[in-house]
A and B are shown apart, each in its own frame.
Chain A
Amino acid sequence: MGMALSIYQETDGYYNPAVYYSVQAYGFTSGSKYPTSASGLPSDSDVEQYKTLASHFGELNLYENDGKYYAVKPAETVQVGGQTLSMKIDLGGIGKGYAVDKIRALYDEKGFEYGYISFGTSSVGLFRHSTQGRFTLGLNSPRTLFGDNYMTLKVNDVNISTSGDYEQYYEIDGVRYCHIIDPTTGKPVQTGIYTATVIGGSAAEDDAYTTAIMTMGKDKAIEFINSKLTDRLVAFTCNK
């Protein structure tokens, strides 16, 4: 949670895990179903309320007391459909990377040198390949057939995190709705960035950075990458 708060601040709020209600309203929480028509989408006024709630994530109070860790939500509440809602957090944008980091630490402790840790296509921790040394990493093309790569590279002993709008999504009236929420709109990202990959840092941090890059849009993303991610390899694809 501390790392999430830190990256929220570092990315000027473009990574924001407090968008849970938007994720839920657009049908991307477990047990939810994707809407099949525009009438199943949340109303603009509801989304505006969710966005307002999420914008207070920076006020989250984290502290430790007597060996226990606490997170106190901001007092801000909103009214949606006659219900009072307080902040809810979705750590899906950082959780898999965090798990890779933790498992990697255990592997390092035991002295494993070969293989890889994979949490789907979101975060992967590579060691070395048992016979070839380096792995051939293929970054999936977001708008072509499964298996096509827009970039391949040889890597070992690094973490890789990727976010994209091409695996969890649906389309209604020609508009694509994916699981990554833009905190500036409260809606699924429409920034023109289809997928982003960050290589070389902590998997948790890079997981969150890829989400932030998706929500920034091309120009802001390039500015952010050039100023904050100079020690990493970053790739993204966009529509212009």
Chain B
Amino acid sequence: VSLKKVEQVRSDKGFKIYDLIIYAAVILVIVALFLSFVVFRDTTKIDGISVYLKNELAFTYTFDGDEYNVVKSENIEIISNDSTELNIKILSDDDGYNLLTINKIEGWADVTEANCSTRKDCVYMDRIEEKSQGIFCTPHGLKILPYDYEEVDDGKINM
């Protein structure tokens, strides 16, 4: 490195105006994400859950009245059902499955086992307790959402 270059680096300001703009933008994004995902998220407890396979409703459960509705009987198998837990097996194409546990006392739903991939993201995702939460299994085209969750119609249609 030449002495001239060293002098030039020494004389430069630590932060130029464009650097500051970029830092400010990054901070704003972080703050916005923090507000939307932590501060302003909907923490209301769920009333139940809806299970979708490839965007089609397959199963619903509501805690009030302890009622379930098997919409796609070929894809839903009731494993066990007692006063505390409802366990179902969600069957997708190509011998895929996800096991879903619904805890009736504590009011949550969780995927406990699946054969979707080695990572099994759906198994490790947080269980659904609040209306802002959901569990997704992309390999099986599975979505588990709060019962009365309304998706925003963004005009996107897949076929």
Interface size of A by Cβ–Cβ distance < 8 Å? 29
When C-beta atoms are compared, the residue in chain B nearest to A116 turns out to be B157
B54 partner residues in chain A, CB cutoff 8 A: 121, 146, 167
Instruction: Report if A215 contacts B (CB, 8 A).
Output: no
Instruction: Report if A192 contacts B (CB, 8 A).
Output: no
CA distance A167 to B54 in the complex (A): 10
Contact B93 A160 (CB under 8 A): no
Contact B156 A136 (CB under 8 A): yes
Given A120-B56, A130-B153, A167-B93: A146 touches B138 (CB 8 Å cut-off): yes
Stretch among A8-16, A50-58, A137-145, A222-230 lining the B interface: A137-145
- Given A131-B153, A138-B156, 8 additional A-B pairs, CB 8 A: A118-B157, A129-B153, A134-B155, A135-B156, A146-B54, A146-B139, A169-B93, A171-B94
Given A130-B153, A167-B93: A147 touches B158 (CB 8 Å cut-off): yes
A134 partner residues in chain B, CB cutoff 8 A: 155
Interface residues of A in 131-186 (CB under 8 A from B): 131-132, 134-140, 145-147, 149, 160, 162, 167, 169-171
Interface residues of B in 17-70 (CB under 8 A from A): 54, 56
Q: Write the A91-132 contact mask toward B (1 if CB under 8 angstroms, else 0).
A: 000000000000000000000000010101110101001111
CA distance A140 to B140 in the complex (A): 14
A162 partner residues in chain B, CB cutoff 8 A: 159
10 contacts between A and B (CB under 8 A): A120-B56, A129-B153, A131-B153, A136-B154, A136-B155, A140-B158, A145-B139, A146-B140, A146-B141, A171-B94
Q: How large is the interface on B (under 10, 10 to 19, 20 to 34, 35 or more residues)?
A: 10 to 19
Given A120-B56, A146-B54, A167-B93: A131 touches B141 (CB 8 Å cut-off): no
Interface residues of B in 118-159 (CB under 8 A from A): 138-141, 153-159
When C-beta atoms are compared, the residue in chain B nearest to A131 turns out to be B155
Partner of A135, one of B94, B138, B141, B157: B157
> Which interface residue of A147, A162, A170, A171 has the most chain B CB atoms within 10 A?
A147
Task: Give min CB distance, A225 to chain B, whole Å.
Answer: 19
Task: Give min CB distance, A56 to chain B, whole Å.
Answer: 33
